[in-house]
Amino acid sequence: MTDGWFKVHRGWMDNTVFKDDKERICWLWLIERAAWADTNHFVCGAMHSVPRGSLFVTYREISKRFGWSLTKVQNFLLRLQNEDMIQYDKRTKKGHITICNYDRYQQTKDNIQNNKETKTGTLNKKVRNKEENSVCPSVSENDLPWVSFRDSYQSIPKSNWSSKDETILSWLTKSIQKDGEEVVLNGTAEYARLCRQQNRPAYNPVKFLRERKYLQPKASAGVKEERTDFRMFQ
């Protein structure tokens, strides 16, 4: 499905998820290759449905097209996932990528009436993703853990707060469920204090939470533990 055209939102090039123009071109390449209507695709001899706004592609295809290593491809797609720009499904030998909000930006007058039919496959996939990953909660100023985490993190001059608030809140909620509110918030506050003290830029908050860096705030902030040389007392 290479005929026709697709739309992009004005200002998309300023999205901080992209590190260079080649990554921007890769993003456009994924949108261009995405199916504009529900279709089917053979993968290793088996027929698979390809809902509107999605495509089958391998790491190697992207690697060959853009001259990237497989690790670079994996990291780029992971960044897009963390920013809720794509969903990546590895259940087949070819990865299945769904462009998030595809219908929001690619809606036309011609397909408004048929929208329910064309979105059926995508909605079914979203239902599965909700069951597996849960929906990102909405941000509220009445959510005290969120406000505490945000204020601590943004007190760092170079906080690298480039992800969407909803994405960060989703990871914060998962972290609190896993390690407890006190551990997460106290570890974050200590990490922020050390970063300010050393004038050190912070990790992106999603990376900070995903890798549970609040459990070791000193190491995360690059502070080396002082060791006593007991030989001086001998």
Query: Can you give the CATH number for the domain in which 33 is found?
Result: 1.10.10.10
The helix/strand/coil state of 87 is strand
Same domain, 153 and 124: no
Same domain, 148 and 205: yes
- Which residue, 98, 133, 168, sits at the end of a domain? 133
3 in a structural domain = no
Measured CA to CA, the distance from residue 143 to residue 185 in angstroms comes to 13
Cβ partners under 8 Å of residue 163, min gap 6:
82, 83, 204, 205, 206
- Which residue, 133, 168, 183, sits at the end of a domain? 133
Backbone angles phi, psi at 138, to 5 degrees: -80, 150
232 in a structural domain = no
For residues 168, 210, 14, 62, the Cα torsion angle rounded to the nearest 10 degrees is -140
In this prediction, residue 164 carries a pLDDT of: 87
Measured CA to CA, the distance from residue 214 to residue 185 in angstroms comes to 8
Same domain, 215 and 155: yes
Above 90 in pLDDT, residue 20? Answer: yes
Same domain, 79 and 176: no
Above 80 in pLDDT, residue 108? Answer: no
Q: Write down the residue that tokens 């039919």 correspond to.
A: 117
Owning domain of residue 213: 144-220
Measured CA to CA, the distance from residue 168 to residue 153 in angstroms comes to 11
Q: Write down the residue that tokens 């590895």 correspond to.
A: 90
User: Can you tell me the mean pLDDT for 94-98?
Assistant: 89
- Which residue, 133, 166, 195, sits at the end of a domain? 133
Same domain, 186 and 98: no
Mean pLDDT of the chain: 81
Same domain, 103 and 154: no
The helix/strand/coil state of 19 is coil
Same domain, 56 and 166: no
* Global pTM value: 0.47
